């Protein structure tokens, strides 16, 4: 195995020219901006940041597209990147100012550099970054970390003034000492950058310090990575084994990633099939992680969900498993959307539910009686609300459910493990105490309220995760505003309870802002009628809209929510 020292600038050029490609066994780009920030900080200080592993080959090995567009070259595919994809993609994006393609959306990685950073070891880093977009979003989705903590621009600047790199935020970009890393790499001329930060003369005491720091930042391009190059004489399966071992030892990849690498080394171009199926699912508003598609193949090829058997399972068996998986998963998505009202995977407390439904589809040959449909809905709604796959070993629980289906085909029998696991299956008001948006019960609350005909409080639109336009995305809204409750010294857990949540559009959320409930709820009743609040189970007693009566408000609404949730489950399951 050869070993070379190659500067980052050369590696970035190789990647961008298409000379360095990703083999099919590689996973998607998955780094968050905070990881990129930390990588830049290490490189800036000259700290070690691992090595690069590539394979130079003349074999016609299947490749995959990276997260950044690459040029086509006659040398494409000659060098394959086995380890270092996340680092190299990130550096290409930042140094070249390139956007990355993540799940069909292009976005920039915007990192800021502090010209006034502290000398010496790095300070403790606290990131300022937006949460990823979600189809159901909180009512404060547009506020950054500083605003969440009630801080203004001056205090933001003070908090981060000693840090070297941060993920960009509006508050910090407005401060003159912070400059975009990508903008620095675009030019070797400091004058424009220095003018922006107010340095207009060579006599300025900051001139030399800032210039030296900008030069040091650009020198990241000269950082030499140790690059290990595997011999041309190796074949694809041997290289795949090395890839799996390297990533297993470093615990960098999930089991599904390693299983996919083992499968694709024997079944070439599978990745393209999986990604095509992913795209078809997303057209129906369902996103299925690549790892779950690999798990589905394993389930239908081996009748269990563990990945350790992949290496011993023949390609014909895997291919038969994939054909069944596609049919089963398509049924599962359609059943979730049309029968259960679960329009989007974010409403599932675990993606494992799709595998159980898919298995039922195949075993029953898509012929479910009304009683079986009801049994499946009963199990699904209760198990999802209770967090069935979160209470113990996920794979053990999934295998138990799969064993029931593959061995007996009795859907109603799935309730027995739930009864052993939870005892009581009915929702009680006490179950909602201090339970917030991260609780599995949150999705059930949304489904039950939506099923009751709830609408947005201003537009009159019915609730749906498939609304077009950002203004109409469904958000959860604090009926009693957080800021007002904090002023009254209520605890965080009770402020963010499900019982204080209503489901409305983003546009309505901004209209309400932090108005007193007694003020804005009266306006809603005047314009839309009392039934609009009734559908969201908001109590009629106006005394409960007073902040000092907030705990009584929670008690009343918990009772209403628990009753509606139980009625929803029983009605859907044909038990009422």
User: Residue 527 belongs to what H/E stretch?
Assistant: helix 517-528
CB–CB of 345/351 below 8 Å?
yes
Could you give the CA distance from residue 295 to residue 15 in angstroms, rounded to a whole number?
Answer: 31
Q: Pairing state of beta strands 79-83 and 52-56? A: antiparallel
Domain ranges, ordered by start, for the chain: 2-222, 254-425, 430-571
CB–CB of 239/262 below 8 Å?
no
Could you give the CA distance from residue 457 to residue 509 in angstroms, rounded to a whole number?
Answer: 9
Q: Pairing state of beta strands 501-505 and 474-478? A: antiparallel
Could you give the CA distance from residue 329 to residue 273 in angstroms, rounded to a whole number?
Answer: 14
SS3 of residue 171 by DSSP: helix
SS3 of residue 63 by DSSP: strand
Give Cα 386 distance to the centre of its chain: 22
- Give first-to-last CA distance, the chain, whole Å: 69
CB–CB of 545/524 below 8 Å?
no
pLDDT at 123: 62
Dihedral (C-alpha) 216, 218, 223, 225: value to the nearest 10 degrees? 150
**Residue 228 per-residue DSSP state:** E
Residues of the chain with pLDDT under 50: 125-155, 251, 467-472
Give burial (CB, 10 Å; 0-12/13-18/19+) of 488: exposed
How long, in residues, is the chain? 576
Region of residue 97 (phi > 0: left; psi between -120 and 50: alpha; otherwise: beta)? left
259: tokens are 């299983």
Q: What is the largest CA-CA distance in the chain?
A: 85
566: tokens are 């139980």
CB–CB of 542/518 below 8 Å?
yes
Could you give the CA distance from residue 375 to residue 413 in angstroms, rounded to a whole number?
Answer: 9
Beta-carbon contacts of residue 42 (< 8 Å; ≥ 6 apart): 48, 49
- The single residue listed with the structure tokens 């024997």 is 266
């Amino acid at each position: 195995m050869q070993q070379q020292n190659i500067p980052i600038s050369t590696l970035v050029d190789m990647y961008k020219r298409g000379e360095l490609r990703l083999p099919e066994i590689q996973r998607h780009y998955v780094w968050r901006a905070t990881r990129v920030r930390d990588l830049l900080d290490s490189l800036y200080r000259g700290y070690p940041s691992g090595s690069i592993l590539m394979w130079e080959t003349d074999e016609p090995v299947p490749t995959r597209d990276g997260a950044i567009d690459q040029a086509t070259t006659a040398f494409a595919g000659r060098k394959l990147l086995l380890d270092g994809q996340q680092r190299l993609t990130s550096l290409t994006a930042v140094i070249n100012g390139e956007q990355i393609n993540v799940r069909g959306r292009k976005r920039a990685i915007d990192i800021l550099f502090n010209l006034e950073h502290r000398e010496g070891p790095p300070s403790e880093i606290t990131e300022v970054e937006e949460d990823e977009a979600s189809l159901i979003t909180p009512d404060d989705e547009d506020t950054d970390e500083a605003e969440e903590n009630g801080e203004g621009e001056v205090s933001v600047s003070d908090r981060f003034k000693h840090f070297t790199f941060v993920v960009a935020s509006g508050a910090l970009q407005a401060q003159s000492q912070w400059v975009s890393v990508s903008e620095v790499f675009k030019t070797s001329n400091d004058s424009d950058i220095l003018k922006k930060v107010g340095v207009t003369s060579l006599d300025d005491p900051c001139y030399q310090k800032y210039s030296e720091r900008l030069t040091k930042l650009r020198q990241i391009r000269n950082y030499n990575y140790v690059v290990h190059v595997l011999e041309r004489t190796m074949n694809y399966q041997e290289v795949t084994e090395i890839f799996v071992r390297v990533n297993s030892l470093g615990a960098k990849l999930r089991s599904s990633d390693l299983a996919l690498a083992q499968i694709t080394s024997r079944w070439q171009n599978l990745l393209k099939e999986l990604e095509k199926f992913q795209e078809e699912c997303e057209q129906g508003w369902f996103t299925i992680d690549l790892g779950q598609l690999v798990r589905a193949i394993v389930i239908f090829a081996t009748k269990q969900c563990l990945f350790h058997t992949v290496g011993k399972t023949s390609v014909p068996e895997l291919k038969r498993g994939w054909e069944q998986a596609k049919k089963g998963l398509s049924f599962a998505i359609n059943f979730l959307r049309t029968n259960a009202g679960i329009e989007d995977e974010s409403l599932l407390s675990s993606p494992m539910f799709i595998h159980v439904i898919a298995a039922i589809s195949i075993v029953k040959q898509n012929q479910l009686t009304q009683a079986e449909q009801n049994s499946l809905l009963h199990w699904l709604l209760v198990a999802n609300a209770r967090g069935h796959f979160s209470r113990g070993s996920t794979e053990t629980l999934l295998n138990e459910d799969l064993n029931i289906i593959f061995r007996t085909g009795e859907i109603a029998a799935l309730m027995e493990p739930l009864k052993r696991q939870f005892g009581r299956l009915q929702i009680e008001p006490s179950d909602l105490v201090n339970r917030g948006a991260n609780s599995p019960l949150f999705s059930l609350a949304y489904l039950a309220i939506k099923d009751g005909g709830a609408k947005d409080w201003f537009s009159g639109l019915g609730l749906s995760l498939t609304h077009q336009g950002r203004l109409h995305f469904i958000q959860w809204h604090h009926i009693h505003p957080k800021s007002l409750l904090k002023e009254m010294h209520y605890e965080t857990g009770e402020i963010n309870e499900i019982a204080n949540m209503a489901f409305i559009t983003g546009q309505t959320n901004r209209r309400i802002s932090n108005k007193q409930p007694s003020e804005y709820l009266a306006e809603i009743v005047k314009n839309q009628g009392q039934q609009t609040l009734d559908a969201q189970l908001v109590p009629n007693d106006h005394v409960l809209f007073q902040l000092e009566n907030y705990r009584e408000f929670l008690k009343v609404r918990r009772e209403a929510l628990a009753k509606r949730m139980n009625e929803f489950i029983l009605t859907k399951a044909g038990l009422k």
